[in-house]
Structures are given as C-alpha cells and as structure tokens.
Amino acid sequence: MFSIYKEFGISKEVYEYGNSILEKLEERFREIDDIAEYNQLKVLRAMQENRVAVECFNTTTGYGYGDIGRDTLEKVYASVFKAEDALVRPQITCGTHALALALMSNLRPGDELLSPVGKPYDTLEEVIGIRPSNGSLAEYGVTYAQVDLREDGGFDYDGIKAAINERTKLVTIQRSKGYANRPTLSVEQIGELISFIKGIKPDIICMVDNCYGEFVEKIEPIEVGADMCVGSLIKNPGGGLAPIGGYIVGTKECVESAAHRLTSPGLGKEVGASLGIMQSFYQGFFLAPTVVAGALKGAIFAANIYEPLGFLCVPNSTEERYDIIQAVSFFKPEGLIAFCEGIQAAAPVDSYVTPEPWDMPGYDSKVIMAAGAFVSGSSIELSADGPLREPYTAFFQGGLTWNHAKLGILKSLQKLVDGRLVNISQLC
C-alpha cells in the first residue's frame, strides 16, 4: 500500500504516522457508519413513500409547470427533514442565497433579526447589512441584534432574553462554526435554544442555517422545533452530484413566502424548470448519508493528526461531531497556506495548480481556498479554506470518499513537513 502513497509524494514517516493514528479510531468510525446506515434507510423510505419514478428524471424548460420531478423531490426533502413543506431548486445558487431568500421573504420593514449565537458567517454580513451592501436587509428597514456565546461556548440566556423585544420577528441560528473557533451546535442544543426563545415569544420564527450539518446526526433541527432549515446542495445533501442548488424546509407558511420571493408573488412554487438535472439531485441526496460519513471520518482523522503536533483543533480529537468541518489553527500564515496547498495537490481536478490568497467577494479578509472539485465550489468534496488573519485557521471539510479524505490530510501534512513547519519524527 505504501508504494501507491509514495507515488503521491507521501514519505514513509508521514504514512506510518497516519497509520498509527488510524489504529485508535476504529470504534469511532463504526459509530459513524451506524449513523450513516440509519440516515440511508431514512432517505430510501422517503423516496419509496413519495413514489419516486423514472419520470421524475425527465427535463422541463420554460415555466416548468407540472414538473413532477421537482415537486416529488420537494416532498422527499420534506419527509426526510420532517417538515411541512420544502423548496429545493437549482435557481437557488448557493447557501448564502438560500439564507438570504429565507430571511428576506419572512422579514418586513420594522422587524428585527436576532442572532443568539454570535456573529454570523462572513457572507451574511452584507445580506444583513452589518457591512453596508446594495439591497441588504438594513436598507429595507430590518434591524439586527446579536448576542454572543459565552466564553465556554454556551448560550447567554440572560442576554438573549434581554435582546428579545416586540420587533423581534426572526431568530437565525447558525449550526456550524463558520470562520469562528467556536463549537458547532448539536441538534439537541438547538432544540433547547428554540424552546427557550419560544417560551419568551412563541411567534418568533426560528431559522437554522443547517449548512455542513445534514446527516451528521440521526435527527435534524425541524424535529426539535425549528420553523425553517436552510442549506446548500453543493454541501452535504447534494452528495457531490448536485451541480448547483439550495433548499429551504419548514412550515408551509415560511416555505411559501420563500417561494414567492424566489419567483414572483402569485407564482410561488408553480414555476421553475428543472433543466435536466433532477437525476443528480435525487441520486446525490440518496448517496448523501454515505458521503457525509466519509467526510466525518476525514475530519476526525485530521484532528487526531494535527492535535499531537501542537496545533489547535476545533473540535478537538475526542469531541462529538455535529458538522463535517474541522478547524486547525496554525498561528502563522505559512502553515495555513501549506495546508491548503496539500489539499489542492490531492484533488482529482486542478491538482497541479497552487492556491493563493485573494480578495474573494463577500469576505472582509483575503481568503485562500483549496477546491479541486468536480463541481465548482463544492465543499462536500475535499476542500479547505481560511481567511488570512490570526490565528490563521484552516477550515477543512469534505471528501466524497473516506479514502480520498485520508490522502488529502496526509498530503497536507507532507506539505508542512517539507516546508519544515512541523517535525513528526519524534511521534513516529
């Protein structure tokens, strides 16, 4: 086996160090496989109950009236997420678009948006208007309030209670960490937060940014009281096959509002052609639980590789996982850059290019991204990125297969070893 890894430039000491780590992870990997099996059967049952047929893969164009594939897929999503309704469309271009759509369709001038989990992901800052931007919620008279998490990562319940007022219409709960070194929220924690908020003001809409969290646990946020769950199809639920798209699941009222915002008042979900990509949406969703399991194994492997070398890993090597992201802080830009170079070098696409930091739209710092993917920007595929700011943290995620994720981590470590940024000889 080492001979084939050697062809990818993996040294004997890196290979043996990786194998020594894997020997300790067998039990955790079995637990991940158990969750994947449960979620696989859950998706299969939803497809059978909603009578998915070959006709669902037919293409539609133009208005897309009567698109059976589109309409059935949305029933499948609603079933899996235990929601009243779903909007799953290629016309939703990305996760940020899905979140903006959910927010802008369910908020009105004079309403207030509250984040009880601290600062949202960078690209939402312009959507909200934290950073001024054309068409932001702030420009339409929607105000914003924020309550930071406590130092231990817990909810500031007193602060949240004080922040809720008569104008608080919608609460946005970001499940994953984004570009912050804070814990990812479990579905159970999200349920406790929602219960607390609705105990103060029952009519508040609770929206969960579910990106990177789908199929990591056996339950999803709608099952613990969320009114909306929002995500991207080029992350977990697309299974690496969806070429574009986003989803919103939740109450019928919230989803209908989003549909009328996506298309037009009076049209809603009735229009929107599927353009021949329905099979990819269905098949990707079917494969998603297994793909997510491989990505989770890669994240756990990464933490166990880098933590003994003195780097800060969030989650750490032993913590429970509630999303597929692994943050590794290198405390110097050279470490972050070398890590991303290694991930890129392990890619099936564009492996020969070298990623460089650049001023990416929607971000307030230079960002480096490693993403040699079949689908551009797909972060369920092996990828890593991070802002060029202290503590120089790489956010690693994805891997359509566990074996590919493993190679990516070993290749990233090899780059650090070759650059004399780390010494693993004493650990081998």
pLDDT more than 90, % of the chain:
93
48 assigned to some structural domain: no
Q: Do 85 and 208 sit in the same domain of this protein?
A: yes
For the chain, helix, strand, coil in percent to 5 are: 45, 15, 45
Q: Is the dihedral of CA 272, 379, 238, 128 positive or negative?
A: negative
Q: Do 308 and 401 sit in the same domain of this protein?
A: yes
Provide the 3-class DSSP secondary structure of residue 256: helix
Q: How many domains does the chain have?
A: 2
Q: Is 328 exposed, middle or buried (0-12, 13-18, 19+ CB in 10 A)?
A: buried
Q: Do 11 and 106 sit in the same domain of this protein?
A: no
Q: Do 243 and 141 sit in the same domain of this protein?
A: yes
pLDDT-derived band of residue 358, with 50, 70 and 90 as boundaries? confident
49 assigned to some structural domain: no
Q: Do 276 and 361 sit in the same domain of this protein?
A: no
| Residue 145 structure tokens | 């309030």
CATH of the domain at 255: 3.40.640.10
Q: Do 262 and 385 sit in the same domain of this protein?
A: no
174 assigned to some structural domain: yes
Average pLDDT over residues 165-187: 92
Whose structure tokens read 């969750």?
A: 35
Domain boundary (269, 285, 301) is at 285
Q: Do 146 and 157 sit in the same domain of this protein?
A: yes
Domain boundary (233, 262, 285) is at 285
66-83 pLDDT tens trace: 999 999 999 999 999 999
Domain boundary (225, 253, 285) is at 285
Q: Do 374 and 241 sit in the same domain of this protein?
A: no
C-alpha distances out from residue 251 to 122, 205, 217, 226, 279, Å = 27, 10, 21, 9, 26
111-122 pLDDT tens trace: 999 999 999 988
Q: Do 179 and 260 sit in the same domain of this protein?
A: yes
Q: What is the pLDDT of residue 360?
A: 75
106 assigned to some structural domain: yes
Question: By residue range, what is the domain housing residue 92?
Answer: 58-285
In the chain, the largest separation of any two C-alpha atoms, in whole Å, equals 67
Q: Do 215 and 67 sit in the same domain of this protein?
A: yes
3-state SS record for 352-392: CCCCCCECCCCCCCCEEEECCCCCCCCCCCCEEEEECCCCC
Q: Is 183 exposed, middle or buried (0-12, 13-18, 19+ CB in 10 A)?
A: middle
Whose structure tokens read 């939803």?
A: 46
User: C-alpha angle with apex 240: 207 to 410, nearest 5 degrees?
Assistant: 105
Going edge to edge, which strands form the sheet with 383-387? 312-314, 326-329, 393-397, 383-387, 367-370
Describe the crossing of helices 26-49 and 278-306 by its angle, rounded to 10 degrees.
Answer: 170
Which of 276, 234, 264, 244 has the alpha carbon at shortest distance from 90? Answer: 244
| pLDDT above 80 for 180 | no
Q: What is the pLDDT of residue 426?
A: 66
Q: Is 243 exposed, middle or buried (0-12, 13-18, 19+ CB in 10 A)?
A: middle
User: What whole-number distance in Å separates Cα of residue 256 and Cα of residue 253?
Assistant: 5
218 CB-near residues (< 8 Å, 6+ apart): 35, 38, 39
pLDDT more than 70, % of the chain:
99
237 assigned to some structural domain: yes
Distance of CA 329 to the CA centre of its chain: 19
| pLDDT above 80 for 363 | no
45 assigned to some structural domain: no
pLDDT-derived band of residue 320, with 50, 70 and 90 as boundaries? very high
44 assigned to some structural domain: no
Contact 140, 109 (CB under 8 A): yes
Q: Do 377 and 246 sit in the same domain of this protein?
A: no
pLDDT-derived band of residue 220, with 50, 70 and 90 as boundaries? very high
User: What whole-number distance in Å separates Cα of residue 202 and Cα of residue 180?
Assistant: 30
C-alpha distances out from residue 202 to 131, 162, 170, Å = 30, 16, 11
Q: Do 264 and 293 sit in the same domain of this protein?
A: no
Amino acid 338 reads A
Which of 14, 15, 13 has the alpha carbon at shortest distance from 1? Answer: 15
CATH of the domain at 406: 3.90.1150.60
| pLDDT above 90 for 18 | yes
47 assigned to some structural domain: no
Whose structure tokens read 């050279």?
A: 334
27 CB-near residues (< 8 Å, 6+ apart): none
